Amino acid sequence: MDKFIIEGGTPLKGTIAISGSKNAALPIMAGALLGDSETTITNIPRLQDIYTFNNVIRVVGARVDFDDQNNKMVIDPTHVSHLEAPYDLVRKMRASFYMLGALVGKHKYAKVSLPGGCAWGPRPVDLHLKGMEAMGIDVELDGGYVIAKADDTLPPASYELSPSSVGATVNLLLASVLRSEEFTLKNAAKEPDVVQLCEALVQMGADISGIGTDTLVVRKVDSLKGIQIHNDPDRIELGTFMIAGAMKPGNELELTGCDPEQLGNFPELLRETGASVSIEGDVITLKAPDVLKPVSITTDIYPGFPTDLQAQWATMLTQAEGSSSVTDTVYYDRFSYVPELSRLGAKMHVDKNTVHISGKTMLTGASVMSTDLRASVSLVMAAMVAEKTTEVLRIYHLDRGYESLEDKLNGVGAKIKRADDQ
């Protein structure tokens, strides 16, 4: 199991190219299974989650050719015949549950493991299942698997997501475009990942209206064709590097291949800290302030502040002059990074779904342990401004969602070494 050994205190100066979005790529990969011919996707990141989903798709019979040196993938769905996604693959990544919508939408039948083997009950996948039942799909649970069956054509129906969910929106879109006479999805997620999936499906021949709003209307079409599509840049990776760049005086980063429109008001929030943020086309230039101002935030569904950036923002605030807070209204228990940052010297405490931060604190290297993807990168960010050496353990979490992270950061001045944790 690998770890990072990080020497802190070096300024970050230089250019980082933003990779393709994992969260946009996975739904498009699932959507490719709905076509009658092969789909080519470019700007696919080399990430563990991508390789995992490749294996899930191959299990059902599709051909997947991933040219990971050129970030290009070709998916041929014409030989899909095994309509089952097994537990040993689905358990590795929740997005594998998209196979439910893709298989029942295309083939009228799917048998897909519940993520993590969770039982029927108050779980996030309930929204997926209840939405499909509202659509007219027969859904039952059998031994930790969801079995879904659909008729050739499903009658008009509607469903309102409560709360809004990207995963459920994606799954219900995949299930409905070839089956539902008319399906109205209310309180649908508006994230750029969902918008790009809708646009890809429309390019394939789907009939979807309301794209970019919280009400999507899907009308059945007889077939979909394969397409060529360029995957969006990763707005969470972009936001992570922008926050990291703001943390230490002297940092200057140029971030290329961006889509600034997907950031919403995030650049303006970062400017409130005193950071200089300049946007020109697909390039964002960031300079850290001499004195970082504390700016409290509350996460919300898109276009609000992303929950996937709250750990990074809280980490940055340890270097701000004054008190601040970060509240997560999307995931109430997403603060596993706090005890680990405290080991480095951060002054933070959690009260319900809010972490309170007292700054500025001097951070000093120690051994810390990653617990999830975004918590992991927050530890790397803290280690880069800490004195002395920090070991970040269990960095396999990072390999799920950040392409070549240490290479990109070392290229702008960081001192990060990957080593075997033995």
Active site residues: 118
Which is it for the CA torsion 59, 88, 333, 386, positive or negative? negative
User: Is 220 in contact with 207 (CB distance < 8 Å)?
Assistant: yes
CB–CB of 141/113 below 8 Å?
A: no
Question: Nearest-5° angle of CA 313, CA 116, CA 83?
Answer: 120
Please give the Cα distance from 321 to 330 (Å, whole number).
Answer: 27
For the chain, the distance separating the N- and C-terminal CA atoms, rounded to the nearest angstrom, is: 8
156 cis-preceded (ω within 30 degrees of 0): no
Other beta carbons within 10 Å of 322: 14
Question: DSSP characters for 360-408?
Answer: ----B--EEE--SHHHHHHHHHHHHHSBSEEEEE-THHHHHH-TTHHHH
CB 319 within 8 A of CB 292: yes
Element (H, E) at 267: helix 266-272
Q: What is the dihedral of CA 311, 315, 320, 325, to 10 degrees?
A: 40
Q: Which two tokens stand for residue 206?
A: 């789907």
Residues 64, 41 contacting (CB under 8 angstroms): no
Q: Which residues pair with 149 in a beta bridge?
A: 109, 138
Tokens at 102, concatenated: 């893709």
Distance (Å, rounded) from C-alpha 137 to C-alpha 149? Answer: 6
